[in-house]
Amino acid sequence: MSPTTGLAALERHGALVPFTFERRALRPHDVALDIHYCGVCHTDLHMISKWGQEFPMVPGHEIVGKVRAVGAAVSKLAIGDSVAIGVMVDSCRECEACLAGEEIYCHAYPTNTYDGVDRVDGTRTRGGYSSDYVADERFVYRIPANLDLAATAPLLCAGVTTFSPLRHWKVGPGMTVGVVGIGGLGHLGVKFARALGARVVAFTTSASKAEAAFALGAHEVVLSKDDKQMAAQAGRLDFILDTVSATYPLDPVLRALKRDGTLCSVGLPDKFDLSSFTLAMGRRSLASSGAGGTNVTREMLEFCSANNIVADIELVRPADIATAFARLEKADVRYRFVLDMRR
Ligand code: NAP
């Protein structure tokens, strides 16, 4: 293999700097791809600042590219195919979750696309802010021909993380669904909920995003900092998809649920700020969800192909990653930065 070039944080809180490393030689079921695009997920910020295990760390788990080489036993992909990789690149493959194609819930924990530990040789995985990747074909997805490659990259994390709970909680016609936080995940949540046939209410802290949320497919937009607007939502919603990355007062949002409604928080805040009474008085459920296994990832890509859904992106050069991170921190992106790894 030739050396891989990328961007790495050399230490916790470190800035991303050019970094060179080696990818593994192809195993029989491996696919090597040249990376064209990689989405910038808020998780990348969390990983560099608090969750990361080992540095240098090369982030990136919304990867799109073209197959450059295949191992001897690869059967589903060929050189030249447009493919994608999401948040995981391996799992135990034996537990009940893996056998069900829900590898993200692998009982032995899936191997993360970056900062994970390779199950064969024990090395740290390095992500898609780089020129190429090598992964087992089970975790490499073919991209439907009608989807724009750059705008497909965010589907591999932001997309499946929002599509999966909407499908699990059977969102569809006749339901009113809230999506909280109109960022990378949330804007796709709005598009998916609308395409699934629900009435969609977008909740945003950013007045400047209100008009745009209608364009994404929201039927209604609520400014969540406005107490009056929040009170008017009480008892209306069947399901809420909360994508907010920070801890914030959940009670006003929970009160928007009908009796027996569910709020699924996928934003991974450090902790929840709520009163148990708000759950009790309405028999409401607070739930969460991981990104999604290989089955739902494939289903999501087919759904996107059939419904012409991709992310709204701002394409940036790797050299501009510091600006992109700073703007992402301030919720100032419409709606996902994607790195053009060929520039
Ligand atoms: P993002 O683009 O920054 O979007 C988050 C949005 O939340 C912001 O755009 C903002 O929307 C809203 N928000 C931010 N701070 C807020 C606050 N203090 N109070 C209320 N609203 C606030 O981030 P993302 O990439 O979508 O990721 C969101 C979170 O999901 C991250 O924490 C990430 O780690 C997590 N995540 C989880 C999984 C999983 O497996 N469950 C997978 C991927 C990502 P408005 O401007 O509209 O208010």
Q: What is the pLDDT of residue 53?
A: 97
Percentage of residues in the chain with pLDDT exceeding 70? 100
Q: Is the pLDDT confidence value at 290 over 80?
A: yes
Q: Is the pLDDT confidence value at 98 over 80?
A: yes
Q: Is the pLDDT confidence value at 2 over 90?
A: no
Residue among 104, 245, 333 whose CB has most ligand 1 atoms within 8 A, to mutate? 245
248 Cβ inside 6 Å of ligand 1? yes
Mean pLDDT of 99-123: 98
Tens digit of each residue's pLDDT (9 = 90 or more) over 9-19: 999 999 999 99
Q: How far is the CA of 282 from the centre of ligand 1 (A)?
A: 26
Tens digit of each residue's pLDDT (9 = 90 or more) over 123-135: 999 999 999 999 9
Compute CA 90 distance to the chain's CA centroid, rounded to the nearest angstrom: 17
Rounded CA gap, 299 and 209, in Å?
Answer: 29
Instruction: Using DSSP bridges, classify how beta strands 132-136 and 257-265 pair: parallel, antiparallel or unpaired.
Output: unpaired
Q: What is the pLDDT of residue 84?
A: 98
245 Cβ inside 6 Å of ligand 1? yes
> Any bridge partners for residue 239, and if so which?
177, 262
Greatest alpha-carbon span in the chain: 63
**335 φ, ψ (degrees, to nearest 5):** -120, -5
Q: What is the pTM of this model?
A: 0.97
46 Cβ inside 6 Å of ligand 1? yes
Rounded CA gap, 177 and 241, in Å?
Answer: 8
Residue among 42, 48, 325 whose CB has most ligand 1 atoms within 8 A, to mutate? 42
184 Cβ inside 6 Å of ligand 1? yes
The per-residue pLDDT of the chain, averaged, comes to: 97
Q: Enumerate residues 6+ apart whose C-beta is below 8 A from 314.
A: 324, 333, 334, 336, 337, 338
